[in-house]
Each structure stands twice: as structure tokens, then as C-alpha cells.
């Protein structure tokens, strides 16, 4: 079965102002929900269940809220699985051993499908820094690596490490951790019915999209600078910073017609958007001042992308803006 390339990869790691509310700490109801879920751990680990189990799962409160058009919205086992992985992230404290997610055979199959479709497109679309960084992290289609395994390869290269997050966080929360070379990332897998689509950042996006450029010293340092500036920024500046991060490090493009290359993790992890952005998006010249004032929509393919002459231009302009703050 093939999946339509027109389905968007919607990235909602951080919400622009006015889009939703950030997740908070667990309240009493949330803690009760976790206790209920503890009786269903075997199902959550294996990712399947019979009819009776599915009926029970429908009555377990959600930690993770899914929109009605989410591929997994009507799948109680998937929702329970998402809640379990969120539970692991919520229980994690920075500095503790990273929680291990034993991915199911079904989730491994989704990973394999995504990587097999993306790999040939990376060869013609990804920037040189991405292509150099990818093999350093040891990714293969055969197995989803744990954050511990990725960090063992990533930290010696640039000092960055992944830490788990349960779901959406604010732009400030996300970027402030970059100052410490910590990249907040999700561990859940997209729904098996749509292996080439995710309505929010999943483990494919985090590892395949961001990982290789976090392994590049130049792009890793840009991430750190975003965090450093955020620590002393007011809310107006934070809004400008997240727009710059979005249009450069999530959806950055350089080159010329017929030979565009991508530095943006959002494009590099989206089979559909990577294959059609050159024809479907309004491609504008890369201009830091314009980008900082341009809102973005995280709920669809990007209607506007900013194209630089080279990756060096993207790095130079971002660094100049950030160091001047």
C-alpha cells in the first residue's frame, strides 16, 4: 500500500502564540490515570490488545490529547501507548538515566518504511552537512535507536544530547534548553496506518530530521546560540527567535531552481513535503529581518519558505543576528 505524498508532516514541538496551551505537570487526576494504566503495561509495551482490552482502554483518561483528525484518534491501543511513553517522559528528571522505550515490531516497521522512503530523497535534497552527519549516528532501517545509544554517538561530536519530553512545550522552554546543549525530543512513533505522516514531531522527526545536523559542529553551535539568546530574551524577541528557528533550522532551504538543498529538519523528515516544496511553496529570498516578522502555521505544509544562496549564508546571517542580541 502506498501513502499519498500530499499528506503534510505537521510539526508542533513548540506552539506559536495563540495556538493551544502547553502541557503542565500532572494533577491528581493525572496521577490517578497513571495508576490505572499500570494494570495495562503489557498491552502498552506490546502495542496490541483484544476487544475486551480495547474496550477498557477507551475508558482510561488521556495524558496525551489527539485531535480528531489524528490518524490514531480512534485507536485506543495507540492512545494508550502514547500515554505510556508520555508517562516515561514526565517521570524523567534531567541527569537521571534516560527512559528506555522498547519499541514494538509494528513501530519498528513504521521506522523502516519511513527511512526507506526518505533515504533516496536525502541524496538529492539534503545539504552536505546533513549527509556527512547521518552516518556518524549509526542509523539503520533495521532498528530504532534509543536516546542513550544516540547520545553516546552525538555527545562526543558536539556535546549535544537528547532528553525526552512528553509532548508540546512552549518556544521558550524548548529553546532555553538548547543553551545547555540539550535537545528536548519525543520518543513516540507515528501511527502505523500513516508511516509517512505525523501531525506532531515523533521519534522519526527527532532523530532523522534533527540528529544529523546536531552532529555537525556549526549547526550545533547555532542551536546553542538560539538557547543562549533565549535565556535573556523578552517575549517579543522569543517570538522572533522561534520564527527564525522555524524557517531556518526546521524549514531552511538554499540553492537555485533545479538544485535546491535542505537544512531544515521538518523537510528532511517529511517524505511528502520534501518531494514537493519546490513546486508547492512560495519561495522567497532569505532575509533575516523579514523572516523574524513572518508568522508560521504548524498545522499544514508550509506555504512560504525562504531560500538562501548557500548554507553558509544561512549560518552567517543567523549567527550575526544572534550574536548581536
Domain assignment present for residue 1? The answer is no
The pTM for the full model equals 0.83
- Residue in the block written with cell 545509544: 149
Instruction: Tell me the catalytic residues.
Output: 205, 210, 250, 269
User: Domain of 305: which CATH number?
Assistant: 1.10.800.10
* DSSP result, 200-253: S--HHIIIIIIHHHHTSHHHHHHHHHHHHHHHT--HHHHHHHHHHIIIIIIT-E
pLDDT by residue (tens digit) across 269-310? Answer: 999 999 999 999 999 999 999 999 999 988 788 999 999 999
pLDDT by residue (tens digit) across 144-189? Answer: 999 999 999 999 999 999 999 988 789 999 999 999 999 999 999 9
Q: What is the pLDDT of residue 198?
A: 85
Query: For residue 305, what are the domain limits?
Result: 99-324
**All cell numbers assigned to 80:** 494508550
Domain assignment present for residue 152? The answer is yes
**All cell numbers assigned to 148:** 542513550
Domain assignment present for residue 116? The answer is yes
Domain assignment present for residue 30? The answer is no
Q: What is the pLDDT of residue 278?
A: 94
Q: How many domains does the chain have?
A: 1
Amino acid at each position: 500500500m502506498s501513502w499519498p505524498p500530499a499528506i503534510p508532516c505537521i510539526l508542533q514541538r513548540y506552539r506559536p502564540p495563540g495556538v493551544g496551551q502547553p502541557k503542565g505537570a500532572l494533577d491528581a487526576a493525572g496521577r490517578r490515570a497513571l495508576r490505572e494504566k499500570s494494570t495495562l503495561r503489557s498491552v502498552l509495551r506490546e502495542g496490541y490488545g483484544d476487544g475486551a482490552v480495547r474496550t477498557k482502554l477507551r475508558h482510561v483518561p488521556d495524558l496525551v490529547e489527539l485531535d480528531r483528525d489524528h490518524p490514531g484518534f480512534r485507536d485506543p491501543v495507540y492512545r494508550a501507548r502514547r500515554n505510556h511513553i508520555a508517562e516515561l517522559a514526565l517521570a524523567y528528571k534531567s541527569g537521571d538515566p534516560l527512559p528506555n522505550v522498547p519499541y514494538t515490531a509494528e513501530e519498528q516497521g513504521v521506522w523502516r518504511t519511513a527511512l526507506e522512503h526518505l533515504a533516496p530523497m536525502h541524496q538529492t535534497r539534503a545539504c552536505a552537512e546533513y549527509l556527512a552527519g547521518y552516518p556518524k549516528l549509526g542509523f539503520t532501517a533495521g532498528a530504532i535507536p534509543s536516546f542513550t545509544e544516540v547520545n553516546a554517538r552525538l555527545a562526543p561530536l558536539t556535546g549535544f544530547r537528547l532528553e525526552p519530553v512528553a509532548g508540546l512545550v512552549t518556544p521558550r522552554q524548548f529553546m532555553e534548553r538548547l543553551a545547555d546543549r540539550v535537545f528536548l525530543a519525543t520518543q513516540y512513533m507515528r501511527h502505523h496506518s500513516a508511516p509517512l505522516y505525523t501531525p506532531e514531531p515523533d521519534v522519526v522527526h527527532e532523530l532523522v530530521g534533527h540528529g544529523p545536523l546536531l552532529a555537525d559542529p556549526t549547526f550545533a553551535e547555532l542551536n546553542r546560540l538560539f538557547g543562549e539568546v533565549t535565556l535573556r530574551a523578552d517575549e517579543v524577541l522569543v517570538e522572533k527567535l522561534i520564527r527564525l528557528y522555524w524557517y531556518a533550522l526546521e524549514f531552511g532551504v538554499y540553492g537555485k531552481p533545479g538544485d535546491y538543498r535542505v537544512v531544515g529538519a521538518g523537510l528532511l523528515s517529511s517524505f511528502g513535503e520534501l518531494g514537493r516544496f519546490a513546486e508547492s511553496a512560495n519561495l522567497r529570498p532569505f532575509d533575516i529581518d523579514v523572516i523574524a516578522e513572518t508568522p508560521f502555521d504548524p498545522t499544514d505544509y508550509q506555504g512560504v519558505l525562504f531560500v538562501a544562496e548557500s548554507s553558509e549564508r544561512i549560518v552567517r546571517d543567523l549567527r550575526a543576528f544572534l550574536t548581536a542580541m
